[in-house]
């Protein structure tokens, strides 16, 4: 994103009051950074995975086990659409929310979309021992590598990307706030 050019000013005028939408691979810090940003801005914090769990009355692992990934994605898309009907929200999405056709265009039209990334090694370290991510069941390390490879381009649609490797959640949040406020 260029410095104080006309283009940058226009970008920021368009973004003001919009939702901030965090996308990115599992364990890149979307929920933690989202909570800090929501607090700073006084925005409603929406963790999409939590809304899905509340809506369905069961855990994500149960949804995957009982009805499969396809069903989970349809609920995820419906919840995303519902959440984007209003403004001033801080929406932290699940890593696969960018996969269903139409979701990325919808996010771009309704929010300031920021992709968080981290190195493969960092993500593997962060998810080790995590039982709550059904897509990582079995060999988590191998699964992370495979998913990152499959989704190499999936998060590039965002307005910009922040590499969180070696940064604290507070540092990542400050960087996003600076861009959002202009
Ligand atoms: C998923 C990521 C998870 C959750 C589900 C599927 C994915 O969210 O939505 O387990 O496909 O990447 P987090 O990114 O918050 O872990």
How far is the centre of ligand 1, averaged over its atoms, from the C-alpha of 94 (Å)?
Answer: 4
Average confidence (pLDDT) over 151-178: 96
Query: Which tokens go with 7?
Result: 């283009």
Hey, where are the domains in the chain?
6-181
In DSSP terms, 24 is beta-bridged to: 116
How far is the centre of ligand 1, averaged over its atoms, from the C-alpha of 182 (Å)?
Answer: 30
With 70 as the cut, is the pLDDT of residue 1 above it?
no
How far is the centre of ligand 1, averaged over its atoms, from the C-alpha of 93 (Å)?
Answer: 8
The neighbour count for residue 44, using CB atoms within 10 Å, is 14
Considering the entire predicted model, what is its pTM? 0.92
Residue bearing the CA closest to ligand 1, atom 10: 133
Residue tagged 């995957």 (tokens)? 64
Question: How many Å apart are CA 44 and CA 37, to the nearest integer?
Answer: 10
Q: Of all atoms in ligand 1, which is nearest to the CA of residue 61?
A: 10
Domain 6-181 has CATH 1.10.260.40: no
CB within 8 A of 49, min separation 6: which ones? 60, 94
Ligand 1 binding residues, C-beta < 6 A: 26, 30, 49, 60, 94-96, 133-135
How far is the centre of ligand 1, averaged over its atoms, from the C-alpha of 3 (Å)?
Answer: 33
Residue to mutate, 92, 133, 135, ligand 1, most ligand atoms under 8 Å from C-beta: 133
Average confidence (pLDDT) over 120-146: 90
Residue bearing the CA closest to ligand 1, atom 4: 94
With 80 as the cut, is the pLDDT of residue 141 above it?
yes
Confidence grade of residue 2 (pLDDT, cut at 50, 70, 90): very low
């Amino acid at each position: 994103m260029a410095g104080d050019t006309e283009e940058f000013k226009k970008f920021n005028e368009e973004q003001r009051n919009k939702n901030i939408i965090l996308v990115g691979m599992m364990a890149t810090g979307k929920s933690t950074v989202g909570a800090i940003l929501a607090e700073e801005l006084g925005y409603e914090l929406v963790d999409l995975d939590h809304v899905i769990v509340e809506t369905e009355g069961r855990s994500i692992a149960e949804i995957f086990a009982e009805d499969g990934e396809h069903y989970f994605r349809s609920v995820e898309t419906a919840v995303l659409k519902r959440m984007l009907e209003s403004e001033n929200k801080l929406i932290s999405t699940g890593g696969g929310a960018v996969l269903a056709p139409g979701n990325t265009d919808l996010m771009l039209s309704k929010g300031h979309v920021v992709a968080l990334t981290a190195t493969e090694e960092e993500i593997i370290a962060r998810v080790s021992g995590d039982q709550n991510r059904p897509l990582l069941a079995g060999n988590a390390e191998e699964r992370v590598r495979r998913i990152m490879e499959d989704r190499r381009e999936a998060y590039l649609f965002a307005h910009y990307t922040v590499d969180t490797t070696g940064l604290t959640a507070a540092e990542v949040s400050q960087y996003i706030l600076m861009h959002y406020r202009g």
